[in-house]
Amino acid sequence: MTTVVENRDELKQRIQQLLAADLVAVNALLSRQFRNPNMFVQDVASHVSRFQGKQIRPILTLLSAEVFSPDAAARENVHRLAAVVEMIHTATLVHDDVIDDASLRRHVSTVHRRWNTETSVLFGDYLFSKAFHLAATTGDAEACRLIGLATDRTCEGELNQIAARLEQSVSERDYFRVIGGKTGHLFAVSCLLGTRAAGGSMVQQTQMKQFGRRIGLAFQIADDVLDLTASAEKTGKDASNDLCNHRLTLPLIRALKTGSHREQQRLKDLMTSIDANDHARLRDDPLVRQGVESAQATAEHFVRRALGNLESLPPCPARDVLAGIARFSVLRSS
């Protein structure tokens, strides 16, 4: 029997009901990873732990496993793998903040603002290294390989983003290649690792990998919309970070596509401006508003397809919660 999650509060509650003990174990594992005799390393680790968000990637790993009722040994590996995906995600955040020269992350100073670029680069590397090390402690080389493949693709996505910007690309194909790499693959492997560790079949592994990829894409599009439309106060990050870093996201690509040549030029001028007033003007432009709606519709399309992937799973509370996460991934407040 399937029960639909009605709202965001219910989603949170049901995640807690299903995963409370697992999340405690994963977070204990995460904090153990950064107990360090060196006070400086410990300080940076404590600071970075404040960037912690909704932990959507480890929750996906845990839920994907929960569907198959893993035994105690499998559960222990699932906890490790959930911690690994969270650590990799945090590493990318720390490095993204250096790259974007960002000041704030979840209302907290970024590492390179609080300390310096050196500390950010090295601490990000440290997080990556610790993540791969922890993955290897599962004794499962194939899991390590899948994680390595996903992080390869994540880095390629980010490198593609630089290339797209250098070429001033306005193509949707480039945009999807970038977000598929930088977000889709880590979401995909988060689901795949949980399914695999708990004994899901090859078909189920493939379906869950696709589920993860699709909600990753939906999530990233929603994030890009939010970066354009929301205030810094709401996101806890710098306002219009993408615009300031000349990253062209889906709502803007769609806005450019529909406008006349003259309107396109006007929008491009506003996009390349460094003036916050121009960014506000851009946000209020009717073409951009249309672009935002169109991008949101695309995100919803990915959610519907992701829900289709869940049909390969046996009906159970964890599957209902996965469906809830898919549905709410496009309705984000931060």
The residue ranges that bind its own copies (CB under 8 A) are 36, 38-41, 44, 91, 95, 98-99, 115, 117-119, 121-126, 128-130, 132-142, 144-145, 147-149, 151-152, 154-156, 158-160, 162-163, 166
Rounded least distance, CB 160 to its own copies, Å:
6
The bridge status of strand 108-109 relative to strand 104-105 is antiparallel
Residues 95, 187, 255, 105: is their CA dihedral positive or negative? negative
Rounded least distance, CB 56 to its own copies, Å:
21
Rounded least distance, CB 157 to its own copies, Å:
10
Rounded least distance, CB 175 to its own copies, Å:
15
**What whole-number distance in Å separates Cα of residue 273 and Cα of residue 243?**
9
**Residue pair 271/243 in contact by the 8 Å Cβ criterion:** yes
- Which residues have CB under 8 Å from 107's CB, separation 6+? 236
Rounded least distance, CB 332 to its own copies, Å:
25
Look-up: residue for tokens 């899991």?
A: 143
* DSSP string for 91-144: HHHHHHHHHHT--EETTEE-HHHHS-HHHHHHHHHHHHHHHHHHHHTTT-HHHH
Nearer to its own copies, 110 or 298 (CB): 110
**Residue pair 256/267 in contact by the 8 Å Cβ criterion:** yes
Widest CA span in the chain: 63
Phi, psi of 67 (to 5 degrees): -55, -35
Nearer to its own copies, 61 or 160 (CB): 160
Nearer to its own copies, 147 or 287 (CB): 147
Nearer to its own copies, 160 or 296 (CB): 160
**Residue pair 133/119 in contact by the 8 Å Cβ criterion:** no
Nearer to its own copies, 116 or 201 (CB): 116
Rounded least distance, CB 61 to its own copies, Å:
18
Tokens of 70: 């893993």
Rounded least distance, CB 118 to its own copies, Å:
4
Nearer to its own copies, 24 or 141 (CB): 141
Nearer to its own copies, 158 or 300 (CB): 158
Measured CA angle at 276 (ends 274, 280), to 5 deg: 125
